[in-house]
Amino acid sequence: MEDKSSFWQFSLAMYADPAVQRECLALQDEHGIDVNLVLFCAFVGAVFGAVLSDDVIEDAADLVRVWQSGVVRHLRAARQALKPFAANEAASPPGAAATALRLQVKASELEAERIEQTVLGDWATARVAAWPRARPAGAVADNIRTLFAVSARGAEQPALPHRLIAAALTVAGHQ
C-alpha cells in the first residue's frame, strides 16, 4: 500500500461527494453495514485491483468489530442524541453548550473512524500482495457485493452503491 494515510485520504475525497454520503448513510442506517468496511472494499479494489474473498472480508470485519461497536457507534449515538438539544442553540444557553459538545463528539467520532481506517490499512499492507487482482471497476463492485453477502447473512442485500463505486474509481484515477 501507499503511505498509512492513503486510505484515509481516499475516504475523505470520496465522502466529499454528497451522493456518496447519502449512499453510505443508507447502508449504515438501513442495513447496519460498517461504512469503513465499504470504503475499505472500494479502496483496495480501486487502488490495487484487489479482489477480497468472504474470508478476507470476515477477517477485516473481525479486526475492527470491537472498535466499531464499542467506540465508533457509541460516539455516533452520543452525537445523534445531542442533536435535538443543539437544535435549541439560539433559544437557551444549554442549547449553545449542547452545540459545542456535539461538535466535540463529532470530532471524536471522526478521529475514531480514522483510527479504524488506520487499523484496516495497516492490516491490508501485510496482505494486499497475496490478494487476487482484477480490473479496478470489477474489483470494487465484487468486493462490495461480497461485503454485503457476508454482512447480510440471509437478509436482503442492499443495492450496489453506484455513486460510491464511480467515486472510488475517479478518486483512484480510473475515470
pTM score, whole prediction: 0.92
Domain segments of the chain as ranges:
6-171
pLDDT above 90 as % of the chain: 80
- What tens digit of pLDDT does each residue of 45-83 get? 999 999 999 999 999 999 999 999 999 999 999 999 999
How many CB atoms lie under 10 A from the CB of residue 19? 13
pLDDT of residue 1 exceeding 60: no
Q: Are 23 and 120 in contact (CB under 8 A)?
A: no
Q: How far apart are alpha carbons 60 and 30 in whole angstroms?
A: 21
